[in-house]
Structure 1
Amino acid sequence: IAKLLATKPLRAELSTRPGPGGKKLTYLSGDSVTRTLNDIFGFDGWCLEVKETRKECCERDDKKRYCVSYTALVRVTHRASGAFKEDCGSGDSTDRSLATAVNHALKASVTDAMKRAARHFGDKLGNSLYESSFSIKKAPVDLKNALTMHDIERAKSKFGFEKDRKKPVNTSNTSSTSNLGPSSKNVNANASVNSYANVN
């Protein structure tokens, strides 16, 4: 499970939307996160608990539409280990119907909070989306590719094998220096003794 959570999300699991400056933002949808949690933990291996919801705003605009926003705090728990992650999210909606606006905003806030909480379990659930170097074009196409990419990245990281290898210490220069040290001291000592003898 730990290794699967450490892999990058597959290209088919990702979506894009327009972002600021004409850029495309990569994200995981709520149903994609739920599907991944079911795949890795099992359909009965995890649970979502809504700890708190709060209505932040409810106004009517000049077109007499209701503008509603909510925040939510949720907990995602892995049943087998008892490990859980918590985070908050927000959601907003605008509609002529107050009930519809509230329903959509509340649901969006819980979904956003769930995605934020789930990503603390690992890269597979969205943590990799916070890496500036990661994009949908660099996402693995299948699980085999994802596991291979994980092994390569781990080998290059500070926790992997390359950084753990210690370079052999070159003792040749050290030996030369250490051999010269005592000789130099002896020469200086003899010179001092001879000078003292000549003076006397």
Structure 2
Amino acid sequence: MLKLLGRKNAFNVRKVLWLLDELGLPFEQEDWGRDFRPTQVPEFLALNPFGTVPVLLDGEAVLRESHVILRYLASREHAWSLYPRGLVQRAHVEAWMDWVAYDMTVAMRGGYLGGELGLEPWAQPQFREVGQAEYAKRMGQIDAALADGGPFLCGHEFTLADIPAGFVVHRWFHLSKLPEKPAMPALGAYYERLSERPAFRRHIRNGLA
């Protein structure tokens, strides 16, 4: 039985929960992290010395980092429509996953943690304003990509690319403290398209930002 360690309201844990649901996999889940069991105790650090969630246990295998776990689960289940075996198609999927992990960092810290939640030090004006502008810029890039292709990020099929990206799009539509939010019709249509998926509704568009 798969076991997922990490609180169900954590950004990176919710991505894994979404995929587990998409795949219909049975699993156990334990809440670790903020307001739950601390991840800095020896029991958890023996599994992940970085003390971050999620951690996935699959028999003797211990995996960390949400995007690694997404790729592992799709490969484990031979879910090739989500994670293509062809190297070029797979590279396109991974490019979007890495884009969220790297290019969205400033936007998520300044624009969401600082601008929306008011968490320090990201709530300082220099972080918040840059992050908010960066968030709008990056969402514009997704909007343009979808307008040029779609209906999903890598074409006609829903893939792993849409899980990390779909989550940051969800948060974009929950930002309430931006000075202005430009119209992005392709992005809005994409959000509604993802919302047709029951797993997205259960784990992402479920009342939490």
With normalisation by structure 1, the TM-score equals 0.21
Based on CA coordinates, which of the two structures has the bigger radius of gyration? 1
Larger strand proportion, structure 1 or 2? 1
